[in-house]
Structure 1
Amino acid sequence: MTASRKTFDFRGILYAVALALCGPAFGSAAHAQQAPTFEDLASLSDAADHVLQVRIIKQATVEPDRSPGLAPGFVRIYAVGTVKQVLHGGESLTQVVRYLADLPLDARGAPPRIKGGQFIIFARAVPGTPGEVVLVAPDAQLPASEELKARLAPLLAEIYGPGAPPRLTRISNVLSVAGNLAGESETQIFIDTRDSGPVLVSVVRRPGRPPAWGFSWSELVDQANVPPLPGSIAWYRLACTLPQGIPPAAHRSANPEDRRRATLDYAFVIESLGPCHRTQPGAR
């Protein structure tokens, strides 16, 4: 197989497996890359089995009619790269990896030349084929730099280290209870996780004090009752996963006043967290 910038009639097993894993929309959200935000990097890292620095040694252009879901102005590239550094994962992979990437055409309308360049890729392994990987998103290939690696190092350590915050799935139960004093209440929001027990977010109101909220990675109330630090994975889990409103089925109380108070407290939490700034399409 000769890989070049010429149009490549891709018939290998990699293409079939990659399409099966990524689906037709693989390139539908692709766009010119901007500098990734913390949320972008967290999303890509969180979805990846492997985060690798690779040097591209071969590239080939996949024919447009064999690139379903490709966005206008983009080209699907078959890339072959040598692994220069493993930032996360790397188990069962070979020193040379192969993958597909959707990249914007250059100013001349031609496929970009990435051969010889070094990139950080966020990928999943293709079962049974150690040398083949699938990017977790259309733009999960970023130009390698020391600055990018410095940003990724603490983020990866927090996501995959001991005691890592669990991945959230859905709000399961919400209950708000009024206290004995006027203006006193506590709202508890239980959030299911993918691999562990529920997460608890609580909002406490006391007369003459501003509302306070905090979280615990278990059903036990954290007496410190403090919110997560912005730019932490705990913050990312909440800010980038929680919906804007409480799902109606999650309310445990039929009392209208309890439900109203819970809705206000939840809105307070969402406002306190602030927006989740993603500039990239995100992991699949």
Structure 2
Amino acid sequence: MIYPLTLLIAAAFTPGQTAVQGPRPAPVAGLEPRTVAASGPSYADLVDLSDAARLVAMATVRSAVAVERERSPGLRPGTVRLYIEADVDSVIRGTAGLPKRIVYLADVPLDSRGKAPKIKKQRMILFATGTAPTGQLQLAARDAQIAWSPATEAMVRSIQRDLVTANAPPIVTGISSAFFVRGSLPGEGETQIFLNTASGDPASLNVLSRPGQARRWAVAFGEILDESASVPVAGTLGWQRLACGLPASLPPGSLQGLEPAQAQAARSDYRFILDSLGPCGRTRPTE
């Protein structure tokens, strides 16, 4: 069935429906293999798309027709907007009532000849905000169609499981306050940093320095930092929340009330955390 193209274009990408961007984007060099594949989206990219989506599904493209540039508002240079008809293979997350046949718009890079790529019969992973009963799918972002591979599917499924588990780490949006307390021995001290989150759930960082011992830090996604708290491993949801959500430095307002030496110690400990986390690894373009 052919759907009115003008209606789909009008509803395809609403203002603000872009990639989820954190305050500290960084290049992908140096990340562990779990976080950045040889090609395709990084772990952080897939988490961003998953956060923005209510529905994640796999589908096989039946047809893809290029939309005229003049009818593709907001199209980035080097990309083309495609009107795609696809068959749903399976639903990874979301409604089980998704129609077998769907249509949607997606922006994809032009090929080496400057033409629309040939994607017929290719399998895709789709991140969407919802679908109409007629099968018109609304992608969560312009580029929320990801080429399928076994590794990408496995990573996407792992992310969906992590997102729906109890006490899943919330999205970190900033820092509210930081404190440093010097210990009784030279070189002993503790920094505690309280985070802002999108859900309002508590989260905090703790750095402990003791004479003759390596500096240690941990994160608590909850009210209490217990003895089991540890450094999140790269390529996990807790790591992504911090590596992609923490700002490049402590905001001046978070250090109010601290003496200069205390503030400097807190900044040093915060830099220690950022260095330990490494770069976020987002590869999707900013808007």
Q: Give the TM-score range, shorter chain.
A: 0.7 to 0.9
Q: Does the aligned pair in 2 maintain the 1:55–1:117 contact within 8 Å?
A: yes
Aligned to 2:6: 11
Structure scoring higher RCO (CA < 8 A, sep ≥ 6) equals 2
Q: 2:59 aligns with which of 32, 36, 54?
A: 54
The Cα offsets for residues 118-159 of structure 1, whole Å up to 9 and x where unpaired, read as 211122126x66733333333321222333222222222112
The Cα offsets for residues 158-211 of structure 1, whole Å up to 9 and x where unpaired, read as 122222111212211111111222211111111122224220100111122121
Q: Does the aligned pair in 1 maintain the 2:127–2:140 contact within 8 Å?
A: yes
Unpaired stretches in structure 2, ≥5 consecutive residues: 20-37
Q: 1:153 aligns with which of 135, 157, 165?
A: 157
Taking a change above 3 Å as real, the CA distance of residues 70 and 34 of structure 1, as seen in their structure-2 partners, is farther
Aligned to 1:272: 276
1:174 match: secondary structure: strand
Distance of 1:129 and 1:246 partners within structure 2:
48
**TM-score using structure 2 length:** 0.84
Once the 2 structures are TM-superposed, how far is the Cα of residue 225 of structure 1 from its aligned partner? 4.5
After TM superposition, the runs of 4+ consecutive aligned structure 1 residues lying more than 4 A away are none
Distance of 1:180 and 1:55 partners within structure 2:
64
Aligned to 1:115: 120
Aligned to 1:87: 92
Q: Alignment RMSD, CA only?
A: 2.5
Alignment of 1:72-83 (within 5 A): 72-83=77-88
Distance of 2:114 and 2:230 partners within structure 1:
52
Equivalent residue pairs, number: 269
Alignment of 1:12-51 (within 5 A): 12=7, 14-21=8-15, 34-51=39-56
2:70 match: secondary structure: helix
Taking a change above 3 Å as real, the CA distance of residues 22 and 174 of structure 1, as seen in their structure-2 partners, is closer
2:121 match: secondary structure: coil
Q: Does the aligned pair in 2 maintain the 1:54–1:84 contact within 8 Å?
A: yes
Q: Does the aligned pair in 2 maintain the 1:174–1:251 contact within 8 Å?
A: yes
Aligned to 2:76: 71
Unpaired stretches in structure 1, ≥5 consecutive residues: 4-8, 27-32
The share of aligned pairs that are identical, in percent, is 38
Output the amino acid matched with 1:267: R
Distance of 2:14 and 2:154 partners within structure 1:
34
Distance of 1:138 and 1:34 partners within structure 2:
19
Aligned to 2:192: 188
**TM-score using structure 1 length:** 0.85
